[in-house]
Amino acid sequence: MNNTLARRARIMLSEGQSIVVKFHKKDGTETTRSITRNLNIIPKDKHPKFVRAENPHFITGFDLEKADWIRFHEDEILAVL
């Protein structure tokens, strides 16, 4: 587990930054995604409808390429670019 990378990603996302994160997907393959939580960048129709409790070991962000929300476990992070 790389708590440093997870903490860095969470801080940057909470500051409204867009970040590039490399992580293992559930199927074991690696992927690199550009994500954000900045509502000024996310299309209004994709804004969260409500706030729900989140598992503290997962990171959720809006994938700017897919134009949809994704989430992944903090243990799967390989790099924050």
Predicted local confidence at residue 65, as pLDDT: 97
Q: What are phi and psi of 28, to 5 degrees?
A: 95, -10
Predicted local confidence at residue 45, as pLDDT: 96
Alpha carbon dihedral 9, 12, 13, 17, in 10-degree steps, equals: -130
The DSSP line for 2-66 is -HHHHHHHHHHHHTT-EEEEEEE-TTS-EEEEEEE--TTTS-GGGS-SS-----TTEEEEEETTT
CATH fold for domain 3-45+54-80: SH3 type barrels. (2.30.30)
Predicted local confidence at residue 1, as pLDDT: 56
Predicted local confidence at residue 50, as pLDDT: 83
Q: Residue-wise pLDDT tens for the chain (81 aa)?
A: 568 999 999 999 999 999 999 999 999 999 999 999 999 999 999 999 888 788 889 999 999 999 999 999 999 999 999
Token code pair at residue 40: 């000024």
Give the amino acid at 50.
Answer: F
